[in-house]
A and B are shown apart, each in its own frame.
Chain A
Amino acid sequence: MPNRVDRASFAGEETMPDSGGLSIEVDGLRLRYGTTEVLHGVSFQVRRGEVLALLGPNGAGKTSTIEILEGFRMRSAGRVDVLGVDPALGTEHWRARMGIVLQSWRDHPKWRVRELLAFQGSLYAPYSTPVIRRPWDVDDLLAAVGLAEQADRPIKVLSGGQRRRLDVAIGLVGRPELVFLDEPTTGLDPKARRDFHALVRRIRDEFEATVLITTHDLDEAEKLADRIIILAEGGIVADGTPSQLTRQIAGHDEVSWVHGGARQVRHVADSTAFARGLFARDGNSIRELEIRRATLEDAYLALVRNAEQAAAHPAEVAPEPDGASR
């Protein structure tokens, strides 16, 4: 691997302002199409070197959010700051500091793997500095993503997993300070997925970039992210580390048992005390008692369900203020 970069040492060298160790700052972000509000008041921050997962069901506003951050889409209101710059005013120099990996690229099918990576790299060469030497060496990078053997193949013959690893290599070739990964494992088989997850961990550990990843897969977010933001119906419903989220929102256990021939299910905070009370009351007629610790998945599904119900019946459910979970 090429030599590592000390983030702190080049922070002062960039010409653009960086706001106190934050790669991304979003405050009151809104996006409207006509009368439809896609995002209503989204606020969050991503620290330098952090891996943040933006998690939510399809249609929650993940892709809209990431496209605004990438400078590909205009916002309706709110303040957005990416690497110290408003994406709506981003220059080519700003663009050279980030890498973008979209849901599924099919571009440049006739190009050879090495050709495209070298061409993309050449675009970053003017933005090389003594501290961040751009671009990465093509062969080093191909080896890092496990495509050394495919270097001279046309891109159209790559498998799905290989193609995705090439997309990541192209996202990294300019030695970005910030990498966007938008639903990167959609359509990958389990093995390609696992390989891809290992690659994302290396982006943080070896390439030391800030990573923003969107996914609708909780398992993926839990595996990869330092912090998870759950987005539902255009707003943030939870924000925290995977263990925080489990503790805070998934603190209830599921207790189920059979009594009088019918299965009962309760979600309770203290399952031990609940079970004691249950036996004291109904004693011998309790059958098939099961206590299951609520998982992050249960919490996630409950949060998303609540947000969807609130959106469908705004009058019946108390409106949740922005960032209600914090």
Chain B
Amino acid sequence: MKILVADDSRVMRQIVIRTLRQAGYDDHDIVEAEDGRDAYEKVRSEGPDLVLSDWNMPNMTGLECLQALRGSGSTVPFGFVTSEGSAEMREKAADAGALFLIAKPFTADTFTEHLEGVLA
């Protein structure tokens, strides 16, 4: 199984990857993307089984990335890991086809709760 972690912060990508390991997903391949455009391209080239993406990123936001993926026919499971978790953003995420939205700060338990069904 392969997980694509998209965040413009290298530090936050490391924290997400560390939390994935703490949640027990330490045997998955991890691919990193540094913004939405990079994530879009790596979904095409790497074929991940799940995308965990920040929302607010330069060049292309996480939401724009998801919309572009769905527009191109990709059905890759996609979840947001973002510093904002308002009802409005959760609705936008769900409407665009996201499976979940994890608000920062998060814990390993939060990851387990959301990823259990996706990476069974």
Partners in one complex: no
**Which residues does A use to contact B, with CB under 8 Å?**
none
**Which residues does B use to contact A, with CB under 8 Å?**
none
